[in-house]
Amino acid sequence: MKILVVDDEQDIREAIGRKLRREGFDVVLCSDGLEGWKAFHTDRPDLVVLDIIMPGGMDGLTVCRRIREIADTPVMMLSAQRITEENIIEGLNAGADEYLVKPVRLNEFVARVRALLRRAQIASSDTDQNYDDGYLSVDLHRRQVYVKGRKEHLTPTEFKLLAVLIENAGRVVSQRDLLEQVWGREYIDDVYYPRVYVSQLRRKVEQDPANPVYILTEHRIGYRFEKQTRQGE
């Protein structure tokens, strides 16, 4: 699989490249956002790693937004600052799937790359389960989501989260189970992830995100997907 790494810090960029190549990945390295944006078109990577702050007119968030306009390729953001929920929300709004803080621990980095690639491969799942109530329509096999008849773009992580909840419709999925099933065992201590990502997912699929009817919170336990009566019935 091919990974595009875009980072203006040469030492970090080359260290990540060497590690990924040793792990069997094909790697494309770029030093700024514009170069990375061009490489995305020419090299068609399976995953993109973007530094947030880069010189020139295109930072990582800008590149991510442009990628999301044309593709659902998984995107991992690198941050030189401590990650907060606000950072994650900003990245989610741009279309990112993942954050890591510099300096990057290379073994953890590779583990998270593999986990993100696994989440993106849900499109090849052999499940035939669908959901459609006239307002929200989800095809888990084709990886398509429609809200009021309009196609809604979900990142690989958001789609995996929705798929797990739908596959367990009517049952509470604990936060720990969500972390394992959606993100992987590497994320078991990232307890704020489900809350932040569920909030973002509600913004995309709920008619009123402040008063959700599909993705319900079970306080201090987890989340539950509640099927709705098909409109017109």
Is residue 211 situated within a structural domain? yes
Q: What is the mean pLDDT of residues 124-150?
A: 83
Q: What is the mean pLDDT of residues 31-55?
A: 94
Q: What is the mean pLDDT of residues 27-55?
A: 94
The model's confidence at residue 122, banded by pLDDT at 50, 70 and 90, is low
| Residues 152 and 57 placed together within one structural domain of the fold | no
Domain boundary residue, one of 63, 94, 122: 122
pLDDT for 183 equals: 86
pLDDT beyond 70 at 139: yes
| Residues 201 and 218 placed together within one structural domain of the fold | yes
**Do residues 69 and 42 lie in contact, with contact meaning Cβ atoms separated by under 8 Å?**
no
Mean confidence (pLDDT) of the chain: 88
| pLDDT per position as a tens digit, 79-89 | 877 667 777 77
Q: How many residues does the chain have?
A: 233
What CATH number is given to the structural domain containing 6?
Answer: 3.40.50.2300
Is residue 231 situated within a structural domain? no
| Residue whose C-alpha is closest to residue 51's, from 93, 19, 80, 92 | 80
Q: What is the mean pLDDT of residues 67-90?
A: 81
Q: What is the mean pLDDT of residues 87-99?
A: 80
pLDDT for 98 equals: 85
- Omega within 30 of 0 (cis) for the link into 209: no
- Domain residues for the domain of 161 are 125-225
The model's confidence at residue 64, banded by pLDDT at 50, 70 and 90, is very high
Q: Give the list of residues 6+ apart from residue 157 with CB closer than 8 angstroms, or none.
A: 74, 97, 98, 116, 119, 182, 183, 197
| Residues 161 and 107 placed together within one structural domain of the fold | no
| Residues 114 and 6 placed together within one structural domain of the fold | yes
pLDDT for 128 equals: 58
Domain boundary residue, one of 122, 137, 171: 122
Domain boundary residue, one of 94, 122, 150: 122
| Residues 27 and 75 placed together within one structural domain of the fold | yes
| Residues 150 and 199 placed together within one structural domain of the fold | yes
pLDDT beyond 90 at 22: yes
The model's confidence at residue 123, banded by pLDDT at 50, 70 and 90, is very low
Residue 23 buriedness (CB in 10 A; 0-12 / 13-18 / 19+): middle
| Residues 78 and 179 placed together within one structural domain of the fold | no
| pLDDT per position as a tens digit, 155-207 | 888 898 999 999 999 999 999 999 988 888 878 888 888 888 899 899 999 99
pLDDT beyond 90 at 121: no
Q: Helix or strand or coil: residue 175?
A: helix
pTM above 0.95, yes or no: no
| Residues 108 and 168 placed together within one structural domain of the fold | no
pLDDT for 148 equals: 93
| Residues 85 and 137 placed together within one structural domain of the fold | no
Long-range contact pairs involving 96-104 (C-beta distance under 8 Å, separation at least 24): 96/50, 96/61, 96/64, 96/155, 97/155, 97/156, 97/157, 98/74, 98/157, 100/76, 102/12, 102/78, 103/12, 104/12, 104/15, 104/16, 104/78
